Amino acid sequence: MTTTTTAPVAPEPQDPFTGGKVLDFRPPIGPVTEPAPAEPGETVHEHEETTGEPVDLPVTEDRSLAARMNAARNGTRRPVFASWLTSSEEFVNTAKWAADHAAHTMAYHAVRCPLYAAKIAARSPRGLVRAVAVSANWAMDAEGRALRSDAVTKGDAELYLKLHNAKPRGRWWLVLLGLVILTAGALVLFGYAPMWAQFLGVSVVLGLLGWLGGNPDRPVVGGRAVVTSKAQKLTSDIVVRALSALGIAEVNKAVGKGGGGITFPSPITREGPGWRADVDLPYGVTVADILARRAQLASGLRRPLGCVWPEPAHDQHAGRLVLFVSDVDMAQAKPKAWALAKGGAADLFKAVPFGTDQRGRAVGIDLMYSNLLIGAMPGAGKTFALRVLLLAAALDPTAELRLFELKGSGDLSTLEPVAHHYASGPDDETIEQTVTSLREVYKDLERRAKTISKLPRAQCPENKVTPELSAKRSLGLFPLVVAIDECQELFSHAEYGKEAGELCTAIIKRGRALGVILLLATQRPDKNSLPTAVSANVGVRFCLRVMGQLENDMILGTSMYQNGVRASTFTPKDKGIGYLVGASDDPQIARSAYIDNPAAEKIVVRARALRERAGTLTGHAIGETQLAEDAARANVLDDVASVYQAGEDRLWSEVIVARLAEQRPDAYQGWTPNALAAALKPHGIAPKQIPLRDDTGTERNKRGYLLAAITEVILTTRRVSTESDDSPV
Ligand SMILES: Nc1ncnc2c1ncn2[C@@H]1O[C@H](COP(=O)(O)OP(=O)(O)OP(=O)(O)O)[C@@H](O)[C@H]1O
């Protein structure tokens, strides 16, 4: 029989700096396997005889200088100064907090001063009685009385005499002197001293007597100005307990009898507003397994779900878990102020501030060369998150904003003063305006691509917009931000949905390098409301609370749910909190900055001022409400009529748009039959099924227009305008 021996548990080490215990760090934590009792008659061998070479050579620690230097070279250097001392932002925040804390504490106690004074005054009679009693006992040497009576009881005359002679004398005289001085002082105070001195004197005496009459169990200052809730310290035992409760067979094996235990590659430390534990999971267990059981882990740790944030370690093996347990639930933690809330401008070529992560660290998003999809259940915080990014874009005066909010609640209306295009509403007209703007953007992609292709290689080495090119307004390569809130209304629209999907897909695919940024927010991420081509090509995704796997993966990408990135674990109170994917190498937890309407209005005032100074206020912001394409639409009837050749009285839509694009590519490049239908609709012309022969001579039925229908409207319009010109003013 073989016995397993375990290393004795080392005494807890002491931290030389804090003098306290070094945080729990005793790898590996596993079972202590007791030697199995020997059966009667059985021999216990300390070491089994083995033959051949051992597979694992004994590990002896190399303590040579070279080895230690090598280990130090590969180690991680801890910062010399605390981060709040090296970061001016953190220093200012900490200083502000300290000043605010002191001011609050003073104000709290200042308001309660009369109550404290009344309590002290009420205790002063008891204090007076105690003062008299203490003085009398002292004068009579009360402590010696017990010894003297003891000597009398024992009949020890010698001891009694000794004690009697040692009795202090003249104490009554001192008490009397004190009384005389006090009386004289009182007479002087009330006879000659000014009012304030009398008040001060009485306060001091009452204060002293109140203090003497106090009860240590009932202090005068009853409550604290700031109530702190101290979270339980995270220890390796707690982590192991929680991991063992997850029902993962490999973990149970590791922590069970004979298992290898769970190891902690570095000590559990305080990090920001919580505890951080780095854990090496047992072989075969991945961080994704833990992420998928976040709720159970929180239960095992006995912490609220919003405090427990497991995540993979960067650049490490798949079993290295970084567990962050915050003191306060992320949803209840006081939100940090947005970096651009009070001042400053943004540059869309750099990451713009978005919010904070679970450790309170700033989270930024690079919008340039990317696109963003935000998705969640209604009321989870999509619009707020979108608005934060739009406010940042507004603070970059070079960026043009086209904003469409298809719910009609006016959630983005605060941004109207800086928007080039703006429309809000749940109606067909708003959808049409959105599509019209998207068509313009689509056409602009062509122009941008041509501009870039004509530039010398030295100016544009990567064939994409650079900050320098964007700054040259004449090139028209400035950042163009298109935001569509509640985009499910657009993509599921019976008439424009398909075209909108195609336009957005093209903008996402080609616009990235050309300085066009598309931001979409949706509360219905299914394949009818969000084209798969759009969801598959978006670069950055922010998913707040969703119901299940389908919605989660539609927004965050395929297999995210399976990998443990589950926005369905958020609760209704987790407003503004979501998984952010694509903004950094790994999925992040982020809470968008909280900017309400009044705060947003102030920021927009600043943004507008920046744009006025830069001369970049255009479109809706300066009262030009009609889209450029609306103007082009006035001529569309003439243009369509002109593509019918001699002898043709009907044409399919696809032929009309192809000929229009050929005749006037500047106005009609990229038009689809749907776009044509949308342009003709305001004139009361709808497409019809037109039977015609195709190139092969086969007769087919397709959507198109009769020339007579077009010319009739042209003639009617002309007649009406001539009549109105002739009418007397
Ligand atoms: N970062 C945040 N921090 C705290 N509260 C937030 C945050 N973001 C949003 N909220 C709260 O959540 C509420 C809903 O936000 P929002 O209107 O953005 O939701 P939504 O998902 O767009 O809803 P809907 O789909 O109905 O438009 C807001 O009124 C706000 O109080």
CATH number, domain with residue 677:
1.10.10
Q: Which residue in 184, 151, 179 sits closest to 165, CA to CA?
A: 151
Asked which of 145, 179, 212 is the last residue of a domain, the reply is: 212
Indicate if 400 and 526 belong to the same structural domain.
Answer: yes
DSSP-assigned states of every residue in 364-417: EE--TT--EEEE-STTSSHHHHHHHHHHHHHTSTT-EEEEEETTSS-TTGGGGG
Q: Is 136 known to sit in a ligand binding site?
A: no
Ligand 1 neighbourhood includes 380 CB (under 6 angstroms): yes
Indicate if 195 and 269 belong to the same structural domain.
Answer: no
Indicate if 660 and 527 belong to the same structural domain.
Answer: no
Low-confidence ranges of the chain (pLDDT < 70): 1-62, 75-76, 83-84, 89-90, 227-231, 624-634, 666, 718-729
Ligand 1 neighbourhood includes 591 CB (under 6 angstroms): yes
575, 580, 591: which to mutate for ligand 1, most atoms within 8 A of CB?
575
pLDDT of residue 44: 40
The closest residue, in CA terms, to atom 5 on ligand 1 is 575
pLDDT of residue 712: 87
Q: Which residue in 293, 294, 234, 292 sits closest to 264, CA to CA?
A: 234
Residue 599 CA, ligand 1 centroid: distance in Å: 15
Indicate if 618 and 644 belong to the same structural domain.
Answer: no
Q: How would you classify the pairing of strands 400-405 and 421-424?
A: parallel
Residue 378 CA, ligand 1 centroid: distance in Å: 8
356, 373, 384: which to mutate for ligand 1, most atoms within 8 A of CB?
384
- Is residue 394 assigned to a domain? yes
Ligand 1 atom, smallest distance to 387 CA: 18
Residue 385 CA, ligand 1 centroid: distance in Å: 8
Would you tell me how many other CB atoms lie within 10 Å of the CB of residue 294? 17
Residue 575 CA, ligand 1 centroid: distance in Å: 6
Ligand 1 neighbourhood includes 387 CB (under 6 angstroms): no
Residue 592 CA, ligand 1 centroid: distance in Å: 10
Q: Which residue in 539, 557, 541, 564 sits closest to 312, CA to CA?
A: 564
Q: Is 379 known to sit in a ligand binding site?
A: yes
- Is residue 219 assigned to a domain? no
pLDDT of residue 630: 52
Q: Are 583 and 367 in contact (CB under 8 A)?
A: no
Q: With 0-12 CB in 10 A as exposed, 13-18 as middle and 19+ as buried, what is 86?
A: exposed
Query: How far apart are alpha carbons 8 and 22 in whole angstroms?
Result: 18
Query: How far apart are alpha carbons 370 and 512 in whole angstroms?
Result: 6
Q: Is 522 known to sit in a ligand binding site?
A: no
Indicate if 485 and 577 belong to the same structural domain.
Answer: yes
Query: How far apart are alpha carbons 436 and 140 in whole angstroms?
Result: 104
Strand spans (E) along 635-678? 650-652
383, 391, 555: which to mutate for ligand 1, most atoms within 8 A of CB?
383
Indicate if 599 and 716 belong to the same structural domain.
Answer: no
- Is residue 474 assigned to a domain? yes
Domain tally, the chain: 4
The dihedral region occupied by 19, where left means phi > 0, alpha psi between -120 and 50, and beta the remainder, is left
- Is residue 93 assigned to a domain? no
Ligand 1 neighbourhood includes 376 CB (under 6 angstroms): yes
pLDDT of residue 21: 38
CATH code for the domain in which residue 551 is found: 3.40.50.300
- Is residue 585 assigned to a domain? yes
The closest residue, in CA terms, to atom 30 on ligand 1 is 381
Indicate if 616 and 666 belong to the same structural domain.
Answer: no
- Is residue 338 assigned to a domain? no
What is the token pair recorded at 125?
């009679």
- Rg of the chain (C-alpha set): 40
Indicate if 608 and 477 belong to the same structural domain.
Answer: yes
Asked which of 598, 622, 646 is the last residue of a domain, the reply is: 622
Per-residue three-class SS string for 481-521: EEEEECCHHHHCCCCCHHHHHHHHHHHHHHHHHHCEEEEEE
Ligand 1 neighbourhood includes 381 CB (under 6 angstroms): yes
Query: How far apart are alpha carbons 160 and 181 in whole angstroms?
Result: 36
Ligand 1 neighbourhood includes 382 CB (under 6 angstroms): yes
Residue 574 CA, ligand 1 centroid: distance in Å: 10
Query: How far apart are alpha carbons 326 and 307 in whole angstroms?
Result: 5
Asked which of 212, 246, 274 is the last residue of a domain, the reply is: 212
Ligand 1 neighbourhood includes 378 CB (under 6 angstroms): yes
Q: Are 434 and 423 in contact (CB under 8 A)?
A: yes
Residue 284 CA, ligand 1 centroid: distance in Å: 40
The closest residue, in CA terms, to atom 1 on ligand 1 is 576
Residue 537 CA, ligand 1 centroid: distance in Å: 26
- Is residue 75 assigned to a domain? no
Indicate if 417 and 553 belong to the same structural domain.
Answer: yes
* Structural domain for 686, as ranges: 634-726
- Is residue 163 assigned to a domain? yes
Residue 543 CA, ligand 1 centroid: distance in Å: 13
Ligand 1 neighbourhood includes 144 CB (under 6 angstroms): no
Ligand 1 neighbourhood includes 524 CB (under 6 angstroms): no
Indicate if 467 and 580 belong to the same structural domain.
Answer: yes
